[in-house]
Chain A
Amino acid sequence: MLRNIWLRQLSALVGKEFQQIVRDPSSYLVAGVLPFIFLLLFGYGITLDAGVLRLGVLNQSGGRHSLSLAADFAHSPWFATRPVGNMADAGRMMRDSVVQGILVIQQDFDEQLERGSAGAVQVLVDGSEPNTAQYIQNYSQGLIMSWQRTALPDGVAAALPINIQPRFWYNPAAKSVQFLVPGAITVIMTLIGTLLTSLVFAREWERGTMEAMFATPVSCMQLLLGKLIPYFCMGMFSMALCAVAAVTLFAVPFRGSLWVLVLLSSVFMLSALGQGLLISVTLRGQLVAAEAGLFSGFLPALLLSGFVFDINSMPPVLQALTRLLPASYFNTCLRTIFLTGDVWGVFGPSLLFMGLLASVLLGLVYRNLVKRLDA
Chain B
Amino acid sequence: MARITLPRLNLRRMATIVRKELLVLLCNKVSRMLIIVPPLMQIVVFGWAATMEVRNVDVAVLNQDSGNWSREIVRRLQGSHTFRSVTFLDGEADIRPTIERQKALFVMVFDDEFSRRVDAGTPAQMQVILDGRRSNAAQIASYYLETIVRGIGESTPRGQLALGAATSAAGGAPKLDVRVRCWFNPNLEFQWFFLPNLIGMLGFMLGLVVTGLSVAREREVGTFDQLLVSPATPTEIALAKLVPGCLVGLVHGTIFLLISVFGFGVPFSGSLVLLYVAMLVFAMASGGVGLMVSSLSATQQQAFLGAFTVGVPCILISGAVTPVINMPPFLQYASQLNPMRHFTTIVQGVFLKDITVAAAAVSLGKIACISAVAVSVAVWMFKRKA
Q: Give the interface of A toward B (CB within 8 A).
A: 24-26, 29-30, 33-34, 37-38, 41-42, 44-51, 54, 92, 94-97, 100, 112-113, 115-134, 137-138, 140-141, 144, 148, 152-172, 174-176, 178-179, 195, 199, 203, 206, 283, 285-288, 290-292, 294-295, 299, 303-304, 308-310, 312-315, 317-318, 321, 332, 335-336, 339-340, 343, 345-346
Query: Closest B-chain residue to A42, C-beta based?
Result: B316
Residue of B132, B177, B304 near A178 (CB, 8 A) is: B132
- Inter-chain contacts of A178 with B (CB < 8 A): 132, 135
Describe B's contact surface by its main secondary structure.
helix
Residue of A157, A164, A179, A335 near B162 (CB, 8 A) is: A157
Query: Closest A-chain residue to B99, C-beta based?
Result: A169
B292-335 interface mask toward A, CB cutoff 8 Å, 1 = contact, 0 = none?
A: 00000101111011101100110011000111011110010000
- Inter-chain contacts of A167 with B (CB < 8 A): 127-130
- Inter-chain contacts of A123 with B (CB < 8 A): 178-181
B101 touches A174 (CB 8 A): no
Contact of B97 with A by CB under 8 A: yes
B181 touches A122 (CB 8 A): yes
A37 touches B309 (CB 8 A): yes
B359 touches A95 (CB 8 A): yes
A–B pairs, 18, beta carbons within 8 Å: A33-B309, A38-B313, A95-B359, A116-B169, A118-B175, A124-B181, A124-B183, A127-B183, A131-B190, A132-B323, A157-B165, A162-B153, A176-B135, A287-B304, A295-B38, A303-B45, A312-B137, A336-B100
A162 touches B149 (CB 8 A): yes
Known: A134-B52, A169-B129. 14 other contacts (CB 8 A): A24-B302, A30-B305, A44-B327, A46-B322, A115-B169, A118-B177, A127-B187, A133-B185, A140-B180, A162-B69, A162-B118, A170-B131, A175-B135, A318-B49
B130 touches A121 (CB 8 A): no
- Cα A73 to Cα B356 in complex, Å, equals 28
The interface centre, meaning the residue of A286, A299, A310 with most chain B CB atoms within 10 A of its CB, is A310
Contact of B134 with A by CB under 8 A: yes
Min CB distance A291 to B, Å, is: 5
A127 touches B325 (CB 8 A): no
> Among the listed stretches B14-22, B54-62, B223-231, which one makes contact with chain A, having 4 or more residues with CB under 8 Å of it?
B54-62
- Inter-chain contacts of A308 with B (CB < 8 A): 321
Residue of B126, B133, B139, B323 near A129 (CB, 8 A) is: B323
Min CB distance B310 to A, Å, is: 10
Contact of B156 with A by CB under 8 A: yes
Residue of A130, A138, A343 near B189 (CB, 8 A) is: A130
- Cα A124 to Cα B180 in complex, Å, equals 6
Min CB distance B55 to A, Å, is: 4
B156 touches A162 (CB 8 A): yes
A128 touches B322 (CB 8 A): no
- Cα A230 to Cα B90 in complex, Å, equals 51
- Inter-chain contacts of B146 with A (CB < 8 A): 164
Contact of B258 with A by CB under 8 A: no
- Inter-chain contacts of A129 with B (CB < 8 A): 193, 323
Give chain B interface residues in 18-71, CB to chain A under 8 Å: 30-31, 34, 38, 41-42, 45-46, 48-58, 69
Residue of B133, B142, B156, B328 near A179 (CB, 8 A) is: B133
Residue of A112, A313, A332 near B137 (CB, 8 A) is: A313
B331 touches A199 (CB 8 A): no
Min CB distance A49 to B, Å, is: 7
Contact of B264 with A by CB under 8 A: no
B146-183 interface mask toward A, CB cutoff 8 Å, 1 = contact, 0 = none?
A: 10011011101011011001100111111111111111
- Cα A153 to Cα B354 in complex, Å, equals 44
Min CB distance B178 to A, Å, is: 5
- Cα A164 to Cα B328 in complex, Å, equals 33
Min CB distance A21 to B, Å, is: 12
Query: Closest B-chain residue to A148, C-beta based?
Result: B176
- Inter-chain contacts of B122 with A (CB < 8 A): 161
Min CB distance A64 to B, Å, is: 13
Min CB distance B216 to A, Å, is: 9
> Among the listed stretches B235-243, B345-353, B369-377, which one makes contact with chain A, having 4 or more residues with CB under 8 Å of it?
B345-353
- Inter-chain contacts of B345 with A (CB < 8 A): 97
A179 touches B124 (CB 8 A): no
Give chain B interface residues in 204-233, CB to chain A under 8 Å: 209, 213, 217, 220
Give chain B interface residues in 179-200, CB to chain A under 8 Å: 179-190, 192-193
- Cα A94 to Cα B179 in complex, Å, equals 18
- Cα A373 to Cα B192 in complex, Å, equals 50
B131 touches A162 (CB 8 A): no
B327 touches A45 (CB 8 A): yes
- Inter-chain contacts of A286 with B (CB < 8 A): 300-301, 304
Contact of B145 with A by CB under 8 A: yes
B355 touches A165 (CB 8 A): no
- Cα A304 to Cα B47 in complex, Å, equals 11
- Cα A314 to Cα B105 in complex, Å, equals 15
- Cα A332 to Cα B384 in complex, Å, equals 49
Residue of B30, B145, B169, B304 near A164 (CB, 8 A) is: B145
Min CB distance A256 to B, Å, is: 12
- Inter-chain contacts of B105 with A (CB < 8 A): 312
Contact of B102 with A by CB under 8 A: yes
B172 touches A116 (CB 8 A): yes
- Inter-chain contacts of A335 with B (CB < 8 A): 133
A127 touches B124 (CB 8 A): no
B322 touches A343 (CB 8 A): no
Query: Closest A-chain residue to B179, C-beta based?
Result: A122
Contact of B136 with A by CB under 8 A: yes
- Inter-chain contacts of A38 with B (CB < 8 A): 312-313
B308 touches A113 (CB 8 A): no
Min CB distance A92 to B, Å, is: 7
- Cα A154 to Cα B174 in complex, Å, equals 8
- Inter-chain contacts of A292 with B (CB < 8 A): 34
Contact of B80 with A by CB under 8 A: no
A37 touches B313 (CB 8 A): yes
- Assuming the contacts A54-B325, A94-B183, asked whether A170 and B301 have C-beta atoms less than 8 A apart, the reply is no
